[in-house]
């Protein structure tokens, strides 16, 4: 099974995409998540492709980190990338 690059999908969707759930890490199914901007996913490219979106939701499925520390890191990472406000 092959998947489309998330940034390409957002580019195709254009203004129809109004929100995105973000997470980062190694990128494999079930892998432990890391703070946004520190994993293998191209979050800056994804945010640039969906620059019209007002909503960026930090999602956490699995992590070995303290969940609240990861939430705080993600809360500051997205605005630091210049794409939304906290």
Is residue 1 over pLDDT 60? no
Residue 7 confidence (pLDDT) above 80: yes
Closest CA to 5 of 55, 38, 32, 40: 40
Mean pLDDT of 13-18: 89
The pLDDT-based confidence of 55 (bands split at 50, 70, 90) is confident
> In this structure, what token pair is assigned to residue 4?
């489309």
pTM, full prediction: 0.75
**What average pLDDT does the segment 31-50 reach?**
87
The three-class DSSP label of residue 59 is: coil
Average pLDDT of the chain to the nearest whole number: 84
Q: What is the DSSP string of 36-55?
A: TTSSSS-HHHHHHHTTT-SE
- Classify residue 39 as exposed, middle or buried by CB count within 10 Å of its CB (0-12, 13-18, 19+): middle
């Amino acid at each position: 099974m092959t998947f489309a690059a998330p940034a390409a999908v957002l580019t195709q969707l254009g203004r129809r995409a109004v929100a995105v759930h973000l997470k980062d890490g190694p990128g494999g199914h079930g892998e432990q998540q890391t703070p946004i901007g520190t994993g293998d996913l191209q979050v800056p490219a994804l945010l640039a492709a969906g620059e019209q979106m007002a909503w960026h939701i930090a999602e956490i499925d699995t992590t070995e980190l303290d969940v609240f520390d990861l939430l705080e890191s993600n809360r500051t990472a997205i605005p630091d990338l210049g794409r939304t406000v906290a």
